[in-house]
Structure 1
Amino acid sequence: MRPLLSAAAAAAVLLLLLPLAAGQRLRGFSYQLDCGAASSSTDSRGLRWDPDGPYVSAGSARPLSVQGLLDPALASLRAFPYRTNAKFCYALPVDPNRRYLLRPTFFYGPTSTAPPVFDLIVDGTFWTAVDTADDVLAGSASHYEAVFPARGRNLTFCLGVNPDYTKSGPFINALQVIQLHDSVYNATDFTGSAMGLIARTKFGSTGDVERYPDDSFDRYWQPFPDRKHAVSSTHNVTSADFWNLPPPDVFNTALVAEQNSPLVLQWPPISLQNGSYYVSLYFADTLANSSRTLDVNINDYQFYEGTVTSAGLSVFATQWILSGLTRVILTSKSVLPPLINAGEVFGIFPIGRLTITRDGACYGEYEEKPPKHTR
């Protein structure tokens, strides 16, 4: 299906190089909650994690006896009881004029049975179902991420019991609610929509996940190793020059095609439901004071054609139609081969009615669910 954009997104693909100042700390109404913890702690990156008790009145704290945890926020969880169609809600004071990145983390620990499966609901809107079974087998935590607008002075984040999944109550280890800069993702119409993260990738990287303090909002940029095409550089690209404020280091690795060949990527690496997606790609020439012209196609439809310089470039579409497996094809329009440094893909879904919080636990059926958009 040919990509189509709404009238609200009249500029299907835009270039923005706006001078903006990125904050160096998580500011405003931002929360780092260590669920089930008895006291505050500071992680290796200097971020303070606080107990979740002041924001929820349901559930019980449970320590996890797991050796060698690199993330101290995984050492405890809050478990909620199994009550058919119940919602257990966190109520968090927010600025009603801002948008927020939400990232709950789930780590059930070693288990001989399947972990609970349950729903996430934000301000009355179904976000996604949480199923950590594959990550449990791999011994890793599960992260989900979305961007929601604040719709009042309190944001409610709820875990919903769904009897269609399992017969056990939900749980959570950590919850981040981070206030974003006004420029970040501001091309999306958040009056009626939210965005669920599909992939955020640092192409050519073989290192760890890029996150805070490199990213001011603690967004996770996952490595995408490809030794055949990976190239490193050390250009001083300035994050403040880009409206989405990506960390400068994402421009210091890239995938570069072989001479006279296209660069073909299956990305994101999962099959997508048919729907509208926010797609943002980042480029910077790996050669100092250099430029190259390239053509970018996504599933055989042109996404961008133009010039990339060592100063960096961001190209995005707010409502690009995708379905199934996605191929990104980059071809050269100049002597130098095409390249790509980073990318983000979000699913766009409508927001619904507000949740009414009652003593941290809300009961009753929740509204019909839109198609699932996962981490």
Structure 2
Amino acid sequence: MEKLVAVLLLASAVGGRAASFPFIFNYFLRIDCGLTGKTTEHYNNQTWFPDSFFMDHGKTKQISSETHRNVSQVMTTLRYFPNREDKNCYSLPLINTQKFVFRAGFYYGNYDGKSQPPVFDLFLGGQQWATVNSSATDGPVYHELMYAPKNDNISVCLMGRKEYGDTPFISYLEATYLDEDATDNHTVYGMMRNGTAYHLVARLNFGGHDQVLEPWSGMEDVCEERLNRYWTPQPMSGYTNLTFVPTSCSGAAYENRPPNSVINTAISPTNASQSIYVPINFPTTTPQSAYIVLYFYQDLGSKNLNATRNMDVYVDHVMRRNVKLQTYRSGEVVTLYPVLVQGTVNVTISPANGTVLPPLLNGMEVYYATELTEEASSSGVFKISYSFIVVGVCQLFLSVFLGFL
């Protein structure tokens, strides 16, 4: 009986850790930093893992949800690193070298009682991802990029800056695989190159008034967001806000699969001779290579079968593309890359010759590109895979052992 107890304890100890890694098969990873214990949590129908699986140093803190009711539950815990000038790293076993959305969230919430939101650096794969300024807003701060790792194990690290002497912290961390097979046209950001990181500047839903869209969280929402992107509602004064009657997955036929909530709202001038002007503020004034995606869609109903909407797309007064919507229900996705930008950039959608209807714009995504030189692949994935092997052997041995009892 003592041998049986020993085998049960071994299977439980190893299996309890290994069984908590279904993201290996589902190609997504959601980490709730500072979450205590070894069990997963569920927010908005999503499974979040405690970061103790990926980080064994630093300290955790719980922020009172009563005094911070406007933030999501995943933001009410954090991990901070008193050894501020050390690189404090999470090792992410992704087992895939295709495109991922990496997103990190930070909510200070005065967790230390000092009322001094820190500034520190965030790294991906050994290269700087962003400078986190947690005082930039009273609410959460997010940093996101799209990237295809060269290795099957990549690190996300935090490090304090000497000139500030601040303590870095993190509230959550996500990596979501951009599965092209989950989209009908099998094209997801097709001009993004492997080895290049694309940092999100803005992802806008024009004409929408709702709060930021939640990520896709169930098969009942197949016409909505399925790639774990957050779209910011962007009504604009001086333009007409358009809303089209939703049809079944109207955005699914287009590149990057824009969700219905984005594709069925738009802004438009009041007449066909006017243009749409959208300024984009990049984080630095140094020249950068930008990746710009524009979403156009109309559903005019059966009374406008012959209406034509002809538009020219300009970036800083340079004509980049012509877009023509010639049927009452039609759309197009325009990707501009690379576009050399500096500081504030102006995107203009102007009426072109032969247009009957004024220009419109449904959605826009803007990124800037940087090159990453990754660290060597670590053994994190092997260790997790080894856990599964040990569990399987233990379970097999246990079943055979019980058969002899």
User: What TM-score bracket applies, with the shorter chain setting the length?
Assistant: 0.7 to 0.9
* Contact 2:264–2:298, Cα closer than 8 Å, also in 1: no
**Quick one: which amino acid aligns to residue 159 of structure 1?**
L
Within 5 Å, which residues of 2 pair with 1:190-209? 190=194, 192-209=195-212
Query: How many angstroms does 1:208 deviate by?
Result: 1.2
Distance (whole Å) between structure 2 residues aligned to residue 75 and residue 327 of structure 1: 38
Distance (whole Å) between structure 2 residues aligned to residue 173 and residue 146 of structure 1: 17
Q: CA 1:161/1:281 → structure 2, altered by over 3 Å: closer, same or farther? A: same
Query: How many angstroms does 1:28 deviate by?
Result: 2.4
Query: How many angstroms does 1:251 deviate by?
Result: 1.0
**Quick one: which amino acid aligns to residue 289 of structure 2?**
S
Distance (whole Å) between structure 1 residues aligned to residue 377 and residue 87 of structure 2: 10
SS at match of 1:285: strand
Query: How many angstroms does 1:348 deviate by?
Result: 0.3
Distance (whole Å) between structure 2 residues aligned to residue 300 and residue 83 of structure 1: 45
SS at match of 1:53: helix
Aligned partner (choices 125, 128, 140) of residue 127 of structure 2: 125
Distance (whole Å) between structure 1 residues aligned to residue 372 and residue 282 of structure 2: 24
* Contact 2:297–2:331, Cα closer than 8 Å, also in 1: yes
Query: How many angstroms does 1:50 deviate by?
Result: 1.7
Distance (whole Å) between structure 2 residues aligned to residue 143 and residue 271 of structure 1: 14
Distance (whole Å) between structure 1 residues aligned to residue 198 and residue 282 of structure 2: 17
Instruction: Show the counterpart of 2:344.
Output: 325
Q: Which structure ranks higher in relative contact order (CA pairs < 8 Å, sequence separation ≥ 6)?
A: 1
Distance (whole Å) between structure 2 residues aligned to residue 50 and residue 96 of structure 1: 19
SS at match of 1:145: strand
Distance (whole Å) between structure 1 residues aligned to residue 232 and residue 279 of structure 2: 12
Aligned partner (choices 274, 287, 297) of residue 314 of structure 2: 297
Aligned partner (choices 291, 302, 305) of residue 278 of structure 1: 291
Query: How many angstroms does 1:69 deviate by?
Result: 4.2
The answer to whether structure 1 residue 255 and structure 2 residue 274 are counterparts is: no
Instruction: Show the counterpart of 1:48.
Output: 47
Query: How many angstroms does 1:322 deviate by?
Result: 1.4
Within 5 Å, which residues of 2 pair with 1:133-148? 133-135=135-137, 138=138, 140-148=139-147
Instruction: Show the counterpart of 2:153.
Output: 154
Query: How many angstroms does 1:40 deviate by?
Result: 2.5
SS at match of 2:255: coil
CA deviations 1:239-268 (Å, max 9, x no partner) are 332231221221111001111432332332
Query: How many angstroms does 1:112 deviate by?
Result: 4.6
Within 5 Å, which residues of 2 pair with 1:11-160? 28-38=26-36, 39-43=39-43, 45-67=44-66, 68-84=69-85, 86-110=86-110, 112-135=114-137, 138=138, 140-160=139-159
* Structure 1 runs (4+) greater than 4 angstroms displaced: 269-272, 355-359
Instruction: Show the counterpart of 2:244.
Output: 233
Q: Identity over aligned residues, as a percent?
A: 26
The answer to whether structure 1 residue 215 and structure 2 residue 225 are counterparts is: yes
Query: How many angstroms does 1:92 deviate by?
Result: 1.3
Distance (whole Å) between structure 1 residues aligned to residue 65 and residue 114 of structure 2: 15
Q: CA 1:97/1:247 → structure 2, altered by over 3 Å: closer, same or farther? A: same
Q: CA 1:80/1:122 → structure 2, altered by over 3 Å: closer, same or farther? A: same
**Quick one: which amino acid aligns to residue 226 of structure 1?**
M
* Contact 2:65–2:73, Cα closer than 8 Å, also in 1: no
Count of residues in Structure 1 that have an aligned counterpart in Structure 2:
328
Distance (whole Å) between structure 2 residues aligned to residue 161 and residue 355 of structure 1: 23
The answer to whether structure 1 residue 345 and structure 2 residue 366 are counterparts is: yes
Aligned partner (choices 164, 167, 177) of residue 165 of structure 2: 167
**Quick one: which amino acid aligns to residue 186 of structure 1?**
G
CA deviations 1:57-88 (Å, max 9, x no partner) are 1211111124224411011100112343x211
Distance (whole Å) between structure 2 residues aligned to residue 173 and residue 142 of structure 1: 10
Distance (whole Å) between structure 2 residues aligned to residue 162 and residue 132 of structure 1: 14
Distance (whole Å) between structure 1 residues aligned to residue 273 and residue 96 of structure 2: 49
Q: CA 1:88/1:54 → structure 2, altered by over 3 Å: closer, same or farther? A: same
**Quick one: which amino acid aligns to residue 210 of structure 2?**
G
Q: CA 1:245/1:323 → structure 2, altered by over 3 Å: closer, same or farther? A: same
**Quick one: which amino acid aligns to residue 167 of structure 1?**
G
Query: How many angstroms does 1:26 deviate by?
Result: 11
Distance (whole Å) between structure 1 residues aligned to residue 227 and residue 118 of structure 2: 29
Q: CA 1:216/1:202 → structure 2, altered by over 3 Å: closer, same or farther? A: same
Compare the two structures and name the one with the higher helix fraction: 2
- Tell me the TM-score normalised to structure 2 length: 0.75
> Which protein shows a greater Rg?
2
SS at match of 1:152: coil
**Quick one: which amino acid aligns to residue 80 of structure 1?**
F
Aligned partner (choices 302, 306, 310) of residue 323 of structure 2: 306
Distance (whole Å) between structure 1 residues aligned to residue 244 and residue 261 of structure 2: 9
Q: CA 1:98/1:28 → structure 2, altered by over 3 Å: closer, same or farther? A: farther
Distance (whole Å) between structure 1 residues aligned to residue 322 and residue 377 of structure 2: 48
SS at match of 2:53: helix
Distance (whole Å) between structure 1 residues aligned to residue 104 and residue 376 of structure 2: 18
Instruction: Show the counterpart of 2:175.
Output: 177
Distance (whole Å) between structure 2 residues aligned to residue 256 and residue 26 of structure 1: 44
